[in-house]
Amino acid sequence: MTRSPTSQKPKLRIILCAPRGFCAGVVRAIDVVERALQIYGPPVYVRHEIVHNKYVVESLKAKGAVFIEELSEAPAGSAPVIFSAHGVAKSVPEEALARRLFTIDATCPLVTKVHREAQVHFKRGRKIILIGHAGHPEVIGTMGQLPAGAIVLVSTIEEVAALTFEDESNLAYVTQTTLSVDDTRGIVDSLVRRFPKIIVPALEDICYATTNRQEAIKRAAPSVEAVIVVGSPNSSNSQRLAEVAQRAGCKISRLLPSASEIDWQMFGAIGSLAITAGASAPEILVEQVIDAFAERYDIAVETLTTTDETVFFPLPRALREKAALG
């Protein structure tokens, strides 16, 4: 990261939010691919983007990872097939087993927790409501843990109002892990008012990293003229960060995949800026954004820290054991 010397450049105060960037689940998922490449050699096949970030995906491609959307694209043989951090429907490992593919599951443990919650509710005969965004890989994976019709998806308070069940006394809900905390709270409140006997999660389903990054940007956004969220457009938690910043009082809030996407007509005349990054965005992209502003501004960077993160998820057992033997 570079800092421009005092010059005729306009001054720019930058608030760097912390925590930001990689969460423990993303670190684990990337480590799974890199460790598999080290142990087994390329190619290693990855079903869906391991995490939603183009820079990460391209970096892993350069090391020998091959990204596929369906198992049918993976050839028969001993090359590992890795399931992404977002999780997969039960039909995917079943198909892999039928084809005798060697698979490694990089699903984030917090997503696995939601899968297990849903399975427990189903075994106890409850109808399950999933709060999430249709089409997101995590939602597809969670709904795919159970037979069709066992889980009902809702995304808005209006959809909650339209719900009808034969037995309203035997309901439970779970949530996608990367949602807006505030949006989800409103939907949950509506569910609880509508169905007072609904079973709530023992622990918050929205992941700690999503919550922490949203809290940091909430604190920073009201005190700056603009916010940049570094992250990919298909990253749910990154999209939510940009929305949270705008709702917190910052009129200019943009999700940018890289420094090359900065709109200088929009950001060329500001005096203060907050920068954060989605949970799948590497720190190098944040540094490149700061460097881009340092070329045009006399920048002063300060860090706003709302909490320290110490969460760590170990690699899947098969990789740990193989590495120990190697």
Cα first-last separation, the chain: 37
Cis peptide before 42 (omega within 30 of 0): no
Nearest to 206 by CA among 232, 168, 244, 169: 244
Please give the Cα distance from 3 to 145 (Å, whole number): 50
How far is 153 from 236, CA to CA, in rounded Å?
Answer: 16
Contacts of residue 124, defined as CB under 8 A and 6 or more positions apart, other chains included, come to none
Known active-site residue 138: yes
d(CA 219, CA 230): 17
Which residue in 73, 138, 166, 287 is the catalytic one? 138
Under a CB-based contact definition with an 8 Å cutoff, are residues 107 and 88 in contact? yes
- Which positions are catalytic? 138
